[in-house]
């Protein structure tokens, strides 16, 4: 019985597939896309993932998270083509942020209550972006009105961004 081929890194495979789709001779639709033209798809895929969560449908969630990941890979490929950043840069930035925002896990900070963790998280975010002066700074203006109002209320109730 023939052995299975060695599994490749799925993230490298994703990068390679997307680069091929965008390359000359690739998919004409994919080659036409821009960050702006993909915005509705990113939003739609996130909403589909949220619906899968609401239905408690693990198989649908797995598929929908893949579709969200496709959007991340697509946008990273567009940025790579412009010499701005690539998928690995996105992953490194995220890893650095996770470590920086979790000193109670990766640093010297000891055990904390959830309230202390939330306060520390907000302090770290202020250090990361000192231009944010208002608790509402950084809240996306494109959020649906009710969601935006709810988040505004939550942030103002906490008194920090």
Tokens of 96: 């650095």
Q: Tell me: the pLDDT tens digits for 48-61?
A: 999 999 999 999 99
The pLDDT value recorded for residue 132 is 77
The pLDDT value recorded for residue 1 is 53
Within the chain, all domains assigned CATH 1.10.287.1080 are found at 10-97
86 with 80: CB under 8 angstroms?
yes
pTM for this prediction: 0.81
What is the arithmetic mean of pLDDT over 113-141?
81
Class of the domain covering 10-97: mainly alpha
């Amino acid at each position: 019985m023939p052995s299975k081929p060695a599994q490749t890194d799925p993230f490298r495979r994703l990068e390679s597939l997307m680069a091929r789709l965008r390359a000359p001779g690739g998919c004409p639709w994919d080659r036409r896309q821009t960050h702006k033209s993909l915005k509705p798809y990113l939003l739609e895929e996130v909403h589909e993932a949220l619906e899968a969560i609401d239905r408690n449908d693990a198989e649908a969630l797995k598929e929908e998270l893949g579709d969200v990941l496709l959007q991340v890979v697509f946008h990273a490929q567009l940025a790579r083509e412009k010499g701005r950043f690539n998928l690995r840069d996105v992953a490194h930035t995220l890893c650095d942020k996770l470590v920086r925002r979790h000193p109670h896990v990766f640093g010297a900070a000891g055990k904390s209550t959830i309230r202390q963790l939330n306060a520390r998280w907000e302090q770290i975010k202020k250090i990361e972006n000192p231009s944010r002066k208002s608790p509402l700074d950084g809240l996306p203006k494109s959020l649906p009105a009710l969601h935006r109002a709810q988040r505004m209320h939550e942030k103002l109730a906490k008194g920090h961004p």
